[in-house]
Amino acid sequence: MRLVMLGCFGLILATPVAAQPASLRKASDARTEALRAGNAREWARYTTDDFTVTGTHGTVTTKAQRIAEIDGHPATGTPPTIADRRWREHGSAVIETFSSTGSAGNATRIMSVWVRDGGLWKVAAVQLTAVDSTAAAAVR
């Protein structure tokens, strides 16, 4: 989204981003591929040093912890289904939101904060929210 400040009232208007920059799409795809391949070094290229992910139960994991989880552990099975992906620009940051449904049918809402860091798009934070199956059925 583009943000515009109006007058002294601090009113902010936002307009949707037509499409995320090609460099952001490339970074997002490369980060996902590295994660699925168990390539922690490549995944880390697209992740800020102070990165955290807050899990569905409120646990916070650091970049170093995620690297240890990813390194040498390629993803197996069918990739989750991604839906409702949106990118919103806020100054020099982009907020990505989407829903993910795994093969077991468990749904998660995901929000990632992308920032420019050293000339590359990197994820600074991720928030995972489990979707109650009753609520998920109501949304469909």
pLDDT digits (tens, 9 = 90+) for 99-113: 999 988 899 999 999
Residue 98 in contact with residue 84, Cβ under 8 Å?
A: yes
Least confident of 22-36, 94-108, 125-139: 125-139
**pTM for this model (two decimals):** 0.80
pLDDT digits (tens, 9 = 90+) for 32-58: 999 999 999 999 999 999 999 999 999
Arithmetic mean of pLDDT, 61-69: 98
Helices and strands per DSSP (H, E), number in the chain: 4, 8
User: What is the structure's pLDDT at 132?
Assistant: 86
User: What is the structure's pLDDT at 136?
Assistant: 53
pLDDT-derived band at 14 (thresholds 50, 70, 90) equals very low
User: What is the structure's pLDDT at 51?
Assistant: 98
Arithmetic mean of pLDDT, 91-95: 94
Cα→Cα distances 26→55, 68, 75, Å: 25, 24, 20
Arithmetic mean of pLDDT, 5-28: 58
Say what percent of the chain tops pLDDT 90.
Answer: 74
Average pLDDT across the chain, whole number: 86
pLDDT at 15 over 80: no
User: What is the structure's pLDDT at 5?
Assistant: 35
HEC string of 82-126 equals EEEEEEEEECCEEEEEEEEECCCCCEEEEEEEEEEECCEEEEEEE
